[in-house]
Structure formats: structure tokens, C-alpha cells
Amino acid sequence: MNLTLKIWRQAGPDAKGSMETYPVSDISPDMSFLEMIDVLNDQLVRDGKDPVAFDHDCREGICGMCSMYINGEAHGPGRGVTTCQLHMRSFSDGETIYIEPWRAAAFPIIKDLVTDRGAFDRIIQAGGYVSVNTSGNTQDANALPIPKDNADKAFDAATCIGCGACVATCKNSSAMLFTSAKVSQLALLPQGEPEAARRVQRMVAQMDEEGFGNCTNTGACEVECPKGISLENIARMNREFLKAQFTSEK
Ligand code: SF4
Ligand code: FES
């Protein structure tokens, strides 16, 4: 396949960026999208030019690093897949492909397609954990009976990989889908109960502090989420937040 790539290039956080054009040829339809960028970068390095900076790690859909807009869609045209799982057979020979970084004030651009998603880490640090008694009397998790429905919903919420596609897709740059998945995975389990009120209040406060927008129920986040995280989690987080207002725990 021969393609024309239009890629956002930006030398640094404060530099002025622009779309640059790069032709690539002999691309196999079986290559992943990231392998296609590897081919371009190999070509750029051989020509003595600066390769395109992009995030990647696992290349198998589990780390959430490979975040970029492809033809205006978070993670490209596929549904339920990350950029690293997207194959070039999803495009046509001769096509022009537009590649851009996430666009959200809370995810500032570091270089080219790489954004700083530390805001997500800080939301987790604010409360996305359970405190465990390690005194030697730790209870075996398997000793706690959990209703199957709750276990399944908690597991589904826990599949969020923190990629940020929900934020990038949302017209308000809202992080509600991400935060609600992280709140839900613990709120649904007995292990999460003791700190539930404090957790949701702190995580929501941190989310607001980071500059993410609010949810207006558009639902674009759920459509573009590579892990199919449900909007149901946002409703659960709102309920948890309301419930927490009636406790003294902060
Ligand atoms: S909710 Fe979905 S889109 Fe948002 S960070 Fe998690 S996996 Fe990515
Ligand atoms: S590189 Fe890990 S999800 Fe794509």
C-alpha cells in the first residue's frame, strides 16, 4: 500500500505545531498502525530527520499508551481496538491519513503525538486504591463472597486501560468515564466499601482540579472507548458521590 500521512509535528510543549506531509510506500495491509509509523520513522532517521514521537508500550491493547487521533477518531476507525491493534487493511491504498495527538487542556502536548496524561495518575493517587491491612491478619480475598453480577461489573470497569480516548473524544474533555470506571471497580466490591465516601469525593475533586470538563451525556466516550466501558459507571459514580455528601468522611 502507498499512503500519504499528514502528521502533527510539534517540537516541544511551547512550540508552534503544524501538520506535515509524509509519503510512505510498500506498507503491508497486515502491519499494525504503529508498525506503519515505525517504517516512516526508519525512513526519517535514514534521511537524518527527526522521527515522529509517539507513545507505545505493550502493542497488544492492554497498556493504554498508543493514544492518537486517526482521521479525527480516537484510536482510528475500528471499534473496541486501540491504535496498536488497528491494522493497515482498515485503510485503502492511496489514502491520505490524518494523525494528531489527543486535544485536551488537561493533556498538554509534550512532543508531536505524545501528551502528558499525568492528570489520570493524580486522579488515581487521590483515591483509586484500597488500603490493605498487612499486619499478618490479612483476610484472603477469596473468603469474601461477592455476588456474581457485582463481580462481573467490577471486572468490566477494571478493564479501563487509562488511554484517555474518552477525554479526547468528549466535546467537554470530560474524564467522567475514566474516573467512574476507577470508582466503580472498587465501589462494587466489599474491599472498596470502607473508603468509598472519601474515595469518590477526592477523585472527583482531583478530576475538577485537573481542568477536565463536565459530562453532558453525549455518550461519545462510550462509543470510542477501546474497552467498551459503559456509561452506567458514570451514573454509579454520581450516585456514590451523592451518597458521600451525607457522610462526615472527607
Ligand atoms: S474509559 Fe475507555 S477510553 Fe477512557 S481511559 Fe478507560 S479505556 Fe480509555
Ligand atoms: S501500545 Fe499498549 S495499548 Fe497500544
> What are the backbone angles phi and psi of residue 138, rounded to the nearest 5°?
-60, 130
| pLDDT digit string, tens, across residues 154-200 | 999 999 999 999 999 999 999 999 999 999 999 999 989 999 999 99
Counting from 1 in the atom list of ligand 1, the atom nearest the Cα of 175 is: 4
Domains 3-111 and 118-244 share a fold: no
- Contact yes or no for 106/118 (Cβ under 8 A): no
Q: Is the pLDDT of residue 249 over 70?
A: no
- Contact yes or no for 117/189 (Cβ under 8 A): no
| pLDDT digit string, tens, across residues 50-82 | 999 999 999 999 999 999 999 999 999 989 999
Q: Which residues, in sequence order, are CB contacts of 228 under 8 Å at separation 6+?
A: 80, 156, 159, 222
- Comparing CA positions, the residue from 18, 56, 22, 55 lying closest to residue 39 is 22
CATH 3.10.20.30 fits 3-111, yes or no: yes
Q: Is the pLDDT of residue 250 over 70?
A: no
As assigned by CATH, the class of the 118-244 domain is: mainly alpha
DSSP characters for the chain? --EEEEEEE-SSTTSPPEEEEEEE-S--TTSBHHHHHHHHHHHHHHTT-PPPP---SSSSSSS-----EETTEET-S-SS--GGG-BGGGS-TT-EEEEE----TTS-EEETTEE--HHHHHHHHHH-S-----SS-PPPGGGS---HHHHHHHHHHHT-----HHHHHSTT-B-HHHHHHHHHHHHTSGGGSTTHHHHHHHHHHHHHHTT-B---S--HHHHH-TT---THHHHHHHHHHHHHTTSS--
Counting from 1 in the atom list of ligand 1, the atom nearest the Cα of 227 is: 7
Separation of 33 CA from ligand 2 center, angstroms? 11
Share of the chain above pLDDT 90, in %: 90
Q: Where are the domains of the chain?
A: 3-111, 118-244
- Identify the residues whose C-beta falls under 6 Å from ligand 1: 64, 160-166, 177-178, 181, 225-227, 229
Counting from 1 in the atom list of ligand 1, the atom nearest the Cα of 165 is: 3
Assess whether the C-beta atom of 75 lies below 6 angstroms from ligand 2: no
| pLDDT digit string, tens, across residues 114-159 | 999 999 999 999 999 998 777 877 777 788 889 999 999 999 999 9
User: What is residue 217's predicted lDDT score, i.e. its pLDDT?
Assistant: 93
- Contact yes or no for 99/5 (Cβ under 8 A): yes
Assess whether the C-beta atom of 64 lies below 6 angstroms from ligand 2: yes
**In terms of C-beta density within 10 A (0-12 exposed, 13-18 middle, 19 or more buried), how is residue 238 classed?**
middle
Across the strands, what pairs with 69? 74, 100
